[in-house]
Amino acid sequence: MQPGSERIWTEKNVHLVFEVSLWLKAVFAFFEIVGGIIAYLVPKQFLVGFVLWVTTDEFAEDPHDIVANFLLHAVQHLSVGAQTFAALFLLAHGVIKLWLIIGLLRERLWYYPTANVVFGLFIVYQLYRYTFTHSIWLLLLTVLDALVILLTWHEYQYMRRQLVRH
């Protein structure tokens, strides 16, 4: 092999990317859990007041500011049912993801296919929600989930090969 032609995608590097992606998902899961708790506990009036406080300067500069108007419209039309659903969804989604990520980081073999099925179901739901929201964040989350599924499958196959060798 010539100098500089070393393989970039060695098993060690793929494993490192896998672990980094899991830690990223763990951070997202943590914020989902916190967000779910906050969404459940914070009354709608507080959210409206907070958004008004945050967007006051934007409305003073431009009463037609797209982001400020979107935020204000979103919190003003937030129903108790929608707020409860969002809170429970974020909480459940975060807890399930965190549980799976901990199992994957501990390298428990049965977690790998389980995580791929669950992450796949999350992708299906996220794409379904995208048809309503057209949120770029849902697409980015879906791409991250797809990457984690591929890396998880690779890690699972690698670990199974290692078990057969020993």
| Banded pLDDT at 3 (limits 50, 70, 90) | low
Most confident segment among 16-20, 39-43, 77-81, 84-88: 16-20
Which helix (H) or strand (E) element contains residue 34?
helix 11-41
Whether residue 128 lies inside any domain: the answer is yes
Percent of the chain with pLDDT over 90: 36
This prediction's pTM: 0.70
| Domain span at 35 | 11-165
The residue ranking higher by pLDDT, 143 or 6, is: 143
Q: Are 50 and 94 in contact (CB under 8 A)?
A: no
In a domain, 127, yes or no: yes
Give the integer Cα–Cα distance in Å for 159 and 42: 44
Q: What is the pLDDT of residue 85?
A: 80
> 4 in a domain, yes or no?
no
**What is the SS3 string spanning 124-166?**
HHHHHHHHHHCCHHHHHHHHHHHHHHHHHHHHHHHHHHHHHHC
CA Rg, the chain, in Å? 21
Does 3 fall in a domain? Answer: no
Q: Per the domain annotation, does 40 fall within a domain?
A: yes
| Average pLDDT taken over every residue of the chain | 86
Is 5 inside a domain boundary?
no
Confidence (pLDDT) at 5: 52
What pLDDT score was predicted for residue 106?
94
Residue 96: count of CB within 10 angstroms of its CB: 17
User: Considering its fold, how many domains does the chain have in total?
Assistant: 1
Residue-level pLDDT at 4: 55
Contact 153, 112 (CB under 8 A): yes
How does residue 98 score in pLDDT terms, banded at 50, 70 and 90?
A: very high
Domain membership of residue 1 (yes or no) is no
